[in-house]
Structure 1
Amino acid sequence: MAVHFLHTSDWHLGQFFYNHSRQYEHEQFLSWLLEQIQQKQPHALLIAGDIFDVINPASSAQKQLYQFLADAHALAPHMQTLMIAGNHDSGYRIEQVEPLLEKYNARTVGVVHKNDKGQIDLDRLLVPIYDQQKHIVAWCLALPFLRPAEITGFNEHTTNSQNAIVYLHQQLIAEAKKRKMDDQALILMSHAHMQGGETSDSERPIIIGNEEALSTALFDDCIDYVALGHLHKPQKVQHAHIRYSGSPIPLSFSEIQYKHQIVEVQIDPLKQDESRFQFEAIAIPRCIQLHKIRGELNEVMQKLKALPEGEIEQIDQREYVDIEYHTLTPPLPNLRQQFEEALPKNRYRLVRISRQYLSAENDNSTIAKICLEPPTPEKLFQQIWEKQGYSNDETVLNDFMSLMHEAQKSLEEQQIR
């Protein structure tokens, strides 16, 4: 029997977009997803990490997730919801609610644990997927975002994160092969940055030190499908069966052109040729549009006035506008007010204005760019480092990022206690 599942990731519930809540957009997506579940009745829903936007999500974001799980279970009681933690999630936090998740036929894998023998607990990472008759139709190899502190130090094969990642994949795939029957599929779900993956500017860097993006060579030929999370653009990675589903909504203005989707997958493991796979990308409707306006001041004003009219009553449903204007001179003090007045009334939210100074010799050459976007910790560090007169050293930045991840890890553990 073929296994039938939906692949999604990077929901980032609780995200604030330039201080504007995305709750309405997430509500619309989750309602749409429930319709897909009701219609398609899959064996499983796979959520490949970054369920929440921050490790300590607001109660409203947590409520969105748990209400969705309850509604999904009511519409498809046999469907399993399998989730892994991403780099934005607290793996410990999402594992804490296992008794609640069991009521909704849901399971989460947040961290890599040790068993009683001090070895990697492979049992927790191998999750069976059942059909309505309670027969196992597939095994899901669930790998959350792999933090070095959680995967190193098990044995001589895990002395650093690079060889630990290889060892973990080898051990997990070997164990899955032992359990797999001929009529069962193997699905690997992972939150990672793969070599060749196309990124956007909204993805938090997860490559630490001198580590590189992971190679698809980690995935044995026995793996029928790899459900990836982390990169927000839907894309294949070298092979048709290795895919990022992408995020359900644009998480930055760089993602305006992304075709947000979930992936519907059917695999018949008894077939040996390519006909065993069936993939369908199901487009997610975009409920709030994003507009990026660029150009000289006069050109920007014209583009703003040409935007579609028609008032939108609810502020949290209005469309987003990002302006980047090019100039040779300093801005006028009331420029933001002028931009606001040029926009059609009560339809848009002007969330970001940036200025690009152009040289007199060549209008296309940038002298300086000023951006009002809140800086990330790594950007703040770079600015302070450069102000002290030091050069932009990649090694120093990598060390800072390593400290950031260790601090994040320590904070998570303190919250759990």
Structure 2
Amino acid sequence: MKFIHTADWHLGNQMHEIDRRGEAEAFLRWLKNLIAEKNAATLVIAGDIFDTANPSLEARRLYYTFLASLVDSCCKNVIIIGGNHDSAPMLDSARELLEVLNIRVVGSINNLLPSQICFELNDSEGKACGICMALPFVREVELRNLLSESEKCSDGDLYTKVYQKIYTLAFEEAEKLRAGRPLPVIATGHLYAADLEGRLSSKKSSEKCDDGMKVLDVLGTLGNVPASVFPPVDYVALGHIHYSSMVAKNPAIRYSGSPFVMGFDEASLPHHVLCVDVEKAGEASLNVEKIETPKTYLYRRISGTLAEIKKELEKFSKNSKSEKAEGKKPIYIEVCYKRELGVSAQDYLADAIKALPENVSVVSWKIADSEKILSSSLENFEASEVKNLDDREIFTQLILSKSGLSAESEEGKAAIEKFLPLFMKMAD
């Protein structure tokens, strides 16, 4: 059975107010062609189809137009699960209609029996070629409702215990449906799994990516489920993490990642969909191909001193060879600059920005290391101690974090001396 695994489209997303409709349309055209090229019988979309719970009419049009375009293609099964950004009722509202077209939608697990989230997948000849367990994002209120009083546990164990339960029940149903046939079983999920490889593997739960999402959007280990919750299926198609990754170094448990750049910290990273080929159940024949998605819009983060950034911006206006090769694609830039006392970054770079070609725009400004400075300035305080800091100490930390200066530097001492009296006066 061959299928395409993708997730986290976030249709309707407007990162820094960029109109991304053209980018989304180009991706969906490319994806349809890829499905035909790979002769994939199934498409799995593992959540976060939309960026908001109430997506625009344009975002909905993209979604339904794409699904309709697959009706006469080689893709005989489409599996769609809800993510944390999606409105489960909105996705489920068209479930019965889409099911007639072999498009299975599971927006929410609420009140569904295991038999309602497990179903056969058919090939182009109408023969069963696999079994799918379609589990969507499970919200905390749903998690708690899935446990009996005797199963109640601490918050830290909640996600692990409930996911273990629902995946086990679903797998039991899948086994009944398989009925001894050598059909591969695939499962889905939209969650944070533990022990990832790659970009976020060493990040702390308090850190954030540029898309505004915390590495863990819940405290402690809540939501950070171990690979052991997944049953012995042939493949687990996950969504929620925006880059391609394996879980616990297991090639059969994967995040496809988002096909789009969702933050400037991802600007230099490739984005993918996964083409998965799995033979009969239990055979060691899994093959996963990472396929890089097209770059319709280009994103650049330019970092350094203001002088260094100015030189980089001037390269665009001089039509450097590297940018010529990429034609007239829209290029969006984030300026990540080191603060310089007495210098306005916008004023300093105004002429260089004005001279940029029409297809190049500066859409984001960021002070380099400002978040790290704020974090490091308070890292020696316990949470209880932060509450007991007086106004002078809090304002001092605020001045240092906003200026990008250290308390030991002469500039930092001068900034404190200049601004602290003003803050204290306002506090009085």
Q: Scaled by the length of structure 1, what TM-score is found?
A: 0.78
Match among 129, 132, 152 for residue 159 of structure 1: 152
CA contact (8 A) 1:203 1:231 kept: no
SS in structure 1 at match of 2:192: coil
Please say if 1:250 is aligned against 2:250.
no
Aligned-pair CA distance for 1:345: 2.0
The aligned counterpart of 1:337 is: 350
Please say if 1:123 is aligned against 2:118.
no
Q: Scaled by the length of structure 2, what TM-score is found?
A: 0.76
SS in structure 1 at match of 2:295: coil
Match among 274, 281, 299 for residue 308 of structure 2: 299
The aligned counterpart of 2:23 is: 25
Q: Distance in 2 between matches of 1:61 and 1:204?
A: 21
Match among 241, 246, 251 for residue 240 of structure 1: 251
Aligned-pair CA distance for 1:327: 3.1
CA contact (8 A) 1:152 1:158 kept: no
- Structure 1 residues 99 and 150, CA, compared in 2 at 3 Å: closer, same or farther? same
Q: Single out whichever of 197-206 and 8-17 deviates more from structure 2.
A: 197-206
Q: Single out whichever of 142-151 and 27-36 deviates more from structure 2.
A: 142-151
SS in structure 2 at match of 1:286: coil
Match among 67, 79, 97 for residue 100 of structure 1: 97
CA contact (8 A) 1:182 1:269 kept: no
How many residue pairs get aligned? The number is: 355
- Structure 1 residues 258 and 367, CA, compared in 2 at 3 Å: closer, same or farther? closer
Q: Distance in 1 between matches of 2:388 and 2:106?
A: 40
> What amino acid is the match of 1:52?
F
Please say if 1:79 is aligned against 2:79.
no
Q: Single out whichever of 297-306 and 36-45 deviates more from structure 2.
A: 36-45
The aligned counterpart of 1:269 is: 280
CA contact (8 A) 1:47 1:82 kept: yes
The aligned counterpart of 1:61 is: 59
> What amino acid is the match of 1:268?
E
Aligned-pair CA distance for 1:340: 1.2
- Structure 1 residues 196 and 388, CA, compared in 2 at 3 Å: closer, same or farther? farther
Q: Distance in 2 between matches of 1:325 and 1:96?
A: 47
For the aligned residue pairs, the C-alpha RMSD in angstroms reads 2.9
> What amino acid is the match of 1:220?
P
Aligned-pair CA distance for 1:278: 1.6
Aligned-pair CA distance for 1:348: 0.6
Q: Which residues of structure 1 form unaligned runs of 5+?
A: 115-119, 359-364, 370-384, 392-417
Q: Distance in 1 between matches of 2:237 and 2:212?
A: 18
SS in structure 2 at match of 1:279: strand
The aligned counterpart of 1:382 is: none
- Structure 1 residues 104 and 353, CA, compared in 2 at 3 Å: closer, same or farther? same
Whose strand fraction is larger, Structure 1's or Structure 2's?
1
CA contact (8 A) 2:81 2:106 kept: yes
Q: Distance in 1 between matches of 2:338 and 2:34?
A: 44
> What amino acid is the match of 2:294?
P
The aligned counterpart of 1:352 is: 364
- Structure 1 residues 257 and 386, CA, compared in 2 at 3 Å: closer, same or farther? farther
Deviations 1:1-30 (A, max 9, x none): xx1111000000000010112111111100
Q: Single out whichever of 196-205 and 23-32 deviates more from structure 2.
A: 196-205
